[in-house]
Amino acid sequence: MDDIAITGDDVQEISDLTRPKNLGPLWYFLRIKVARSKKRITLSQREYVLDMLSEASMLGCKTVNTPMDPNLKLLYDQWSFWNTR
């Protein structure tokens, strides 16, 4: 890995830190796309999710609002997964 994200409000300190090599503004980091406007920064993992769906052959699947009963109460000791850890 040769990427680094530097954030902060001290422009001079950031400039001093990146003086040897400034790679420019952040736009993609750890599979997260960063989009900037004058008012906000938006983070998106759309491409990552599409890659994962493609690998699982699920690109054509329909979406659902809630994939499980929202009133279902899960108990810690009901699942063998937790009991084998």
pLDDT tens digits, 65-85: 777 777 888 776 665 555 555
Q: Is the pTM of this model over 0.85?
A: no
Task: Report yes or no: 5 and 26 within 8 Å, Cβ to Cβ.
Answer: yes
- Tell me if residue 13 falls in helix, strand or coil: helix
| Residues whose CB falls within 8 Å of the CB of residue 17, separated by 6 or more in sequence, listed in order | 6
Q: Which residues, listed in sequence order, are joined to residue 36 by a DSSP beta bridge?
A: 41
3-state secondary structure of 75: coil
β-pairing verdict for 28-29 and 32-36? antiparallel
Model confidence pLDDT, tens digit, residues 10-40: 888 888 877 767 667 778 878 889 898 889 9
